[in-house]
Amino acid sequence: MKKTLKNIPLVYLLILVIFFSCSSDDDATVDPDDDGGITQPEPVEALNLAEYDNGSRVMMQAFYWDVEPRFEWWNTISDKLGTWSDAGVNRIWIPPASKGQSGGFSMGYDPSDYYDFGEYDQHGTIPTRFGTREDLENLISKAHENDIEVIADIVLNHNSGGGLEYNPYRKRETYTLFDETHGNASGIFNRNYEDFYPNSVNDYDPPSLFYQETNLDHHREHVQNWLWKDENSVAKYYKNVMGFDGWRFDYVLGFEDFVIKDWLEAVGGFSVSELWDGNPNVLRNHIEATGSGVFDFAAFYVMEQAFDRNHDLTGLTNDQVWQTNPEKAVTFTANHDTEKDGNEDNIIAPENKLKAYAFIMTHPGYPNVFYLDYENPEFQDQLNKLIRIHNSLATGSLEVIYADNDEYIMQRSGNAENPGLVLYINTSGNTKRRTITTSWDTRVLIDYSENSNYSPMVEENGEVTIEAPANSYAIWSITK
């Protein structure tokens, strides 16, 4: 029988016992072949992690920037759904699925016709960059057959690809005419300059990084009706006709919080907002105002700084959204934007990527796996192990046992039916060991990430000496 832990409340305690030291702490550095004077037990049997289902799963970002091959992406990821489901993925986030101004080259973030999923001949193509409407419908159907929800990427502020018309509020021609012959071949949600800022009832011209003149005014009744209120609105059509299960709201800095709140009240579903801000309080305020989850950019930058910029793992204890709102924090190590712009402050270095995944897979929050990371043959085996650990042993209250510039040790307490785990990250060039006090007693431990073959015995008082290989990590728990 599977030991199911759904609906068990978690109290996340950050009990920081931090010792500030440098990488020359010789007491922790060991020869990896040295048993440390501890008698190694006879071979032991690992837990069957399939028997410890804590109800948690992970999401897959099922694309990267400028995916190839063009016109075949929906079919490409359809073929992977069974494997992803078996690995422990329960949602996929796909790119904006409707026709953009760039036609067959568009990644969907220049939306023109919200209802053209690859069936109308406009912007130089019938299919979108990702394929035809039939391909998309097949993808969604196959995902549901594999118990995977499909999350639509929704771009709600900036439009692109309309026709020129004279705009009396800007006193010049603007590309604000969207109808059957001007970028909206579906003929649904036709719009003109009155639907964008400024207009006859709203002279406000809000700042926007994208397409200033085609920035939708969400206060306009016509816009609200077609985005989420009417029975044939974008929100209801995507949910009820296309079969999408939830929403990733793009660039939420470009519109007001009430838009997401009203959208979710109209159609519900899982949601996560792209609020690109490393301040955890800004992210928490958005959660409170909208009811939506957020990508935990605070956690992303904490990891980037700890592993890459500052080389100081005490930073992993800094304020992050998952600490207070674990059910609303989508944690991640990379996405299509962080991996394409080349900004060293917006990317976690490849050599530190798996350590970052070990962090998010063992801590509270809802981890998101980036497609290119999962499909990287150097990462995939370890990512599968981390997902399996996340979905089984990563439960219970959290205690940070030790942190310094190159070591970080954390325990999840588990519960009466689940032993929990201990994560040990080591960024130094040497294998390290630490004696810690755990909630276990007289049990043999093994590393379920399989990065270490050391198997120490816990003393009656809970003390045990664990290790982490050089520039790596280990995830410890009990054996049978």
- CATH number of the domain enclosing 287: 3.20.20.80
Tokens at 65, concatenated: 């920037």
224 close to 189: Cβ distance less than 8 angstroms: no
Same domain, 125 and 5: no
Active site residue 274: yes
Same domain, 120 and 8: no
Q: How many domains does the chain have?
A: 2
Same domain, 344 and 249: yes
Judged against a pLDDT cut of 50, whether residue 224 lies above it is answered with yes
- 50-80: pLDDT as tens digits: 999 999 999 999 999 999 999 999 999 999 9
Helices (H), 1-66: none
- 352-409: pLDDT as tens digits: 999 999 999 999 999 999 999 999 999 999 999 999 999 999 999 999 999 999 999 9
Same domain, 393 and 277: yes
- 193: in domain: yes
Confidence of residue 42 (pLDDT cuts 50, 70, 90): low
- 279: in domain: yes
Tokens at 193, concatenated: 């300059």
Matching residue, tokens 């280990």: 474
pLDDT at 31: 63
**pTM of structure:** 0.93
- 319-368: pLDDT as tens digits: 999 999 999 999 999 999 999 876 677 899 999 999 999 999 999 999 99
Same domain, 7 and 101: no
Question: Strand 366-370 and strand 329-332: pairing?
Answer: parallel
- 43: in domain: yes
Secondary structure (DSSP) of 47-69 = --GGGEE-S--EEEE---TT-SS
Active-site residue identified among 274, 308, 319, 459? 274
Tokens at 114, concatenated: 């919200």
- 239: in domain: yes
What's the rounded Cα separation, in Å, for the pair 201 and 89? 46
pLDDT at 33: 58
What's the rounded Cα separation, in Å, for the pair 244 and 228? 14
Is 426 among the annotated ligand-binding positions? Answer: no
What's the rounded Cα separation, in Å, for the pair 302 and 298? 6
Q: Report DSSP state, residue 239.
A: I
Same domain, 394 and 429: no
User: Rounded to a whole number, what is the distance in angstroms from the first to the last CA of the chain?
Assistant: 16
Same domain, 168 and 19: no
Q: How many CB atoms lie within 10 A of CB 35?
A: 12
Same domain, 382 and 436: no
Report the SS3 class of residue 457. strand
CA dihedral over 452, 23, 362, 270, signed as positive or negative: negative
The CATH number given to whatever domain includes residue 22 is 2.60.40.1180
Give the rounded distance of the alpha carbon of 478 from its chain centre: 29
- 266-280: pLDDT as tens digits: 999 999 999 999 999
Give the rounded distance of the alpha carbon of 231 from its chain centre: 30
Same domain, 47 and 94: no
- 403: in domain: no
Distances (CA, A) of 418 to 5, 51, 53, 358, 447: 8, 10, 9, 19, 16
CA dihedral over 350, 354, 360, 361, signed as positive or negative: positive
Same domain, 16 and 144: no
| Host domain of residue 87 | 56-398
Same domain, 38 and 84: no
Active site residue 250: yes
Same domain, 78 and 47: no
How many residues does this entry show for the chain? 480
| H or E segment to which residue 472 belongs | strand 472-478
Report the SS3 class of residue 176. strand
Tokens at 117, concatenated: 């999923």
| H or E segment to which residue 153 belongs | strand 149-154
- 394: in domain: yes
Which of 398, 421, 441 terminates a domain? The answer is 398
Active-site residue identified among 113, 116, 153, 250? 250
Which of 398, 425, 443 terminates a domain? The answer is 398
423 close to 37: Cβ distance less than 8 angstroms: no
- 297-311: pLDDT as tens digits: 999 999 999 999 999
Give the rounded distance of the alpha carbon of 361 from its chain centre: 11
Is 157 among the annotated ligand-binding positions? Answer: yes
Distances (CA, A) of 268 to 57, 235, 241, 246, 292: 20, 9, 15, 8, 10
Judged against a pLDDT cut of 50, whether residue 12 lies above it is answered with no
- 463: in domain: yes
Which of 348, 380, 398 terminates a domain? The answer is 398
- 349: in domain: yes
For 378-409, b/e burial (b = at least 16 CB within 10 A) is ebeebbebbbbbbbbbbbbbbbbbbbbbbbbb
